[in-house]
Amino acid sequence: MSWRKNRTGEKNMKYSFEDYVEIIKKLRAPDGCPWDRAQTHESLKPCMINETVEALAAIDVWRETGDDSNLCEELGDMLLQVVLQSQIAAEEGLFDISDVLQAACEKMIRRHPHVFTENKELPDWDAIKRAEKAHIPPEVEEAKRRALERAQKDMIRHLENVTAHSN
C-alpha cells in the first residue's frame, strides 16, 4: 500500500489489486462480514446482473455529463463480483483469482496473435474459437448452451422485476 491523492484531492492509501483480494478474503473470513460470508455463486447471480446494468448506465452518464466518478465506482462493483466469486471458488477448492487472471491472459494472447506474435495478419476468429472448443466434450458444450439459455431468461426476468419495481 502507498499514499496517493483521491479524486477530491485528499491524501489516502493507494491500494493494489493484491490488497483488494486480501480485503475480500477478510470479508469472507470467520470474523468478517456476515453478508459476505453467506454469499454463494448462486446467491450472487442477481448482484452480478445488477452491477452489469449499473455499469452500463454509468457509461451513459459519463457520455452525457463527462463525469466519470460513477463509472469508476460501478466498474469497482463489477470487480467485486469477479473477486468475490473467485474467493468462493478458492474456498471450495475449485480455482482462485490467479487462475482466473491466468486464463484471461492466455485467452487474450491466443485470440490476438496479430498483436503478440510476428504474424500481423488479422486472425480467423472462427478458427480460433473452433480450436478452443475442440477439446471440450460435446456433453459439456450442450450443458453450456442450456446454461446460457437459462441465464438469459434469468437476466430478462430480473430486469423485468427491476423495471416493474422502479415504476
Characterize 136-161 residue by residue with b for buried, 16 or more Cβ atoms within 10 angstroms of its Cβ, and e for exposed.
Answer: eeeeeeeeeeeeeeeeeeebeebeee
| pLDDT at 162 exceeding the cut of 80 | no
pLDDT tens, position by position, 33-92: 999 999 999 999 999 999 999 999 999 999 999 999 999 999 999 999 999 999 999 999
pTM exceeds cut of 0.95: no
Contact (Cβ atoms closer than 8 angstroms) between residue 34 and residue 42: no
Structural domains of the chain in order of their starting residue, each with its CATH number = 1-95 (1.10.287.1080)
Give the span between the Cα atoms of 87 and 44, in whole angstroms.
Answer: 12
Contact (Cβ atoms closer than 8 angstroms) between residue 74 and residue 47: no
CA within 13 Å, CB half, 158: 16
Give the span between the Cα atoms of 50 and 159, in whole angstroms.
Answer: 8
What pLDDT does 5 receive? 65
